[in-house]
Amino acid sequence: MDNMLRSAVLSVAGNRAVRSFFRKYGMRLGVARFVASEQLEAALDVVLRLNRQGLMVTLDYLGESVTDRALAEEAADQAVLTLRRIAERKLNANVSVKLTQLGLTIDPAFCESMMSRILDEAARTGNFVRIDMEDSSVVQATVDLFEKLLKRYGPKRVGLVLQAYLYRTQADRERLGSQGVNVRIVKGAYKEPKEVAFPRKKDVDANYVRLVEAHLAQGCYTAVATHDEAIIKQTIHYARKKGISPERFEFQMLYGIAGELQLRLVRDGYRVRVYTPFGEAWYPYFTRRIAERPANLWFVLKGMFRA
Ligand code: FDA
């Protein structure tokens, strides 16, 4: 049922009329709950506010599925600028990127050169860049390019996201775990066929826990990215039982979601990082947030009546 609802929301969101309506009125209709700002400097002000509350941040310049080299170059420039401004403002933040925003589907070699620009800046400023994982049509290409970059820049500079809903992820995690990769584990946010992904939420959740525990057991830094309190409790319990220090992992949550839980974990001494998107291309990101929890549509409807 959960998955059916999620698929339905993602299908409606693809409709041209719905898309253009939201592009026009979205920021007023509640998108601002999930997106820090359309501009970098204002987003950095949000980072400062979060840092003051004890939260770390990963900044994401919104955009994906780019088919134009100039747009991919612009996205790479934004990521470089973001890293530079984080260092200049001495913020506790790193950067997340999507390879399809950096030209992966145009030409992987071109995308690699965009990533090199970004990772050179990360090396210069002593920071870290995480590659988000997108839909299953680009997972193999993303993993391939990540492994190439890993050889050049090492696990302190670049990390990857793995999705618990994919059958292939156990094997990917094992291979990356043996290379000491810093992995963010998520459930997975795209509409996927049952040939590649567990259709039942119960199986996704069970796989999620297995992946987190295996990555921690292997001694790798692990980003546990979920708002699922049962999984968060289970992770804390596992770490305590195995004597794994809270320095060896972090919880990650999305900007605008479960704020109270984020602060509670900080008070309890855990590292918490908030995934904070900014930029004008927020539509696909926003629709995935609605699809995860269709109750979020209430925010949109309330915004409509206020507008
Ligand atoms: P689940 O969906 O079971 O939700 C648990 C509880 O969290 C719900 O009961 C609800 O209370 C709350 N919740 C969840 N989603 C909510 C929402 N949208 N609004 C309000 N409350 C909500 N995916 C991907 O495919 N590639 C990626 O690179 C990333 N990156 C990423 C980074 C970070 C930091 C996070 C937290 C998530 C991602 N994701 C992602 C998204 C991820 O795959 C997944 O879709 C969401 O995290 C929602 O699933 P939960 O793990 O929160 O569990």
Give yes or no for a contact between 252 and 225, defined as CB atoms under 8 angstroms apart: yes
How far apart, in whole angstroms, are the C-alpha atoms of residue 149 and residue 111?
11
Residue of 227, 252, 299 best suited for mutating to test ligand 1, as the one with most atoms within 8 Å of CB: 227
CA 246 to chain centre: 21
248 flagged as catalytic: no
163 lines ligand 1 (CB under 6 A): yes
Residue 3 Ramachandran class (φ > 0 left, ψ -120 to 50 alpha, else beta): alpha
| Shortest-distance atom of ligand 1 to CA 2 | 2
- Tens of pLDDT along 95-125? 999 999 999 999 999 999 999 999 999 999 9
State phi, psi for 130 to the nearest 5 degrees: -105, 135
Residue 135 has pLDDT above 80, yes or no: yes
Residue 307 has pLDDT above 50, yes or no: no
Residue 151 has pLDDT above 90, yes or no: yes
Catalytic residue among 130, 157, 184, 273: 184
Residue 81 has pLDDT above 90, yes or no: yes
Give yes or no for a contact between 152 and 158, defined as CB atoms under 8 angstroms apart: no
How far apart, in whole angstroms, are the C-alpha atoms of residue 271 and residue 251?
6
184 flagged as catalytic: yes
Residue of 34, 211, 254, 290 best suited for mutating to test ligand 1, as the one with most atoms within 8 Å of CB: 254
Q: How many helices (H) and strands (E) does the chain have?
A: 12, 8
- Mean of pLDDT values over 232-240: 98
**pLDDT at residue 277, as a whole number:** 98
Residue 182 has pLDDT above 90, yes or no: yes
In the reported structure, the alpha carbon of residue 187 is separated from the centroid of ligand 1 by a whole-number distance in angstroms of: 7
> Cβ neighbours of residue 97 under 8 Å, at least 6 residues apart?
60, 61, 75, 79, 115, 118, 129, 130, 131, 132
Helices 16-25 and 283-292: angle between axes, nearest 10 degrees: 110
Residue 67 Ramachandran class (φ > 0 left, ψ -120 to 50 alpha, else beta): alpha
Catalytic residue among 6, 85, 132, 289: 132
- Mean of pLDDT values over 154-176: 98
9 lines ligand 1 (CB under 6 A): no
Give yes or no for a contact between 40 and 291, defined as CB atoms under 8 angstroms apart: no
Instruction: Tell me if residue 277 falls in helix, strand or coil.
Output: strand
For 26-42, letters b (16+ CB in 10 Å) and e give bbebbbbebbbbbebee
Computed from CA positions of residues 236, 242, 245, 247, in that sequence, does the dihedral angle turn out positive or negative?
negative
Nearest CA to ligand 1 atom 32: 225
188 lines ligand 1 (CB under 6 A): yes
Residue 26 has pLDDT above 70, yes or no: no
Residue 178 has pLDDT above 80, yes or no: yes
In which residue are the tokens 């590292």 written?
271
**DSSP secondary structure code for residue 246 in this structure:** G
Q: Would you list the DSSP string of 138-187?
A: GHHHHHHHHHHHHHHH-TTTEEEEEETTBTTHHHHHHHHHTTT--EEEE-
How far apart, in whole angstroms, are the C-alpha atoms of residue 238 and residue 258?
22
Nearest CA to ligand 1 atom 26: 133
Extents of the domains making up the chain: 35-281
Residue of 34, 65, 226, 275 best suited for mutating to test ligand 1, as the one with most atoms within 8 Å of CB: 226
185 lines ligand 1 (CB under 6 A): no
Percent of the chain with pLDDT over 70: 94
> CA separation (Å) from 199 to 6, 7, 164, 189?
12, 11, 11, 13
Q: Architecture of 35-281 per CATH?
A: Alpha-Beta Barrel (3.20)
Neighbours of 241 (CB within 10 A): 8
- Mean of pLDDT values over 172-184: 98
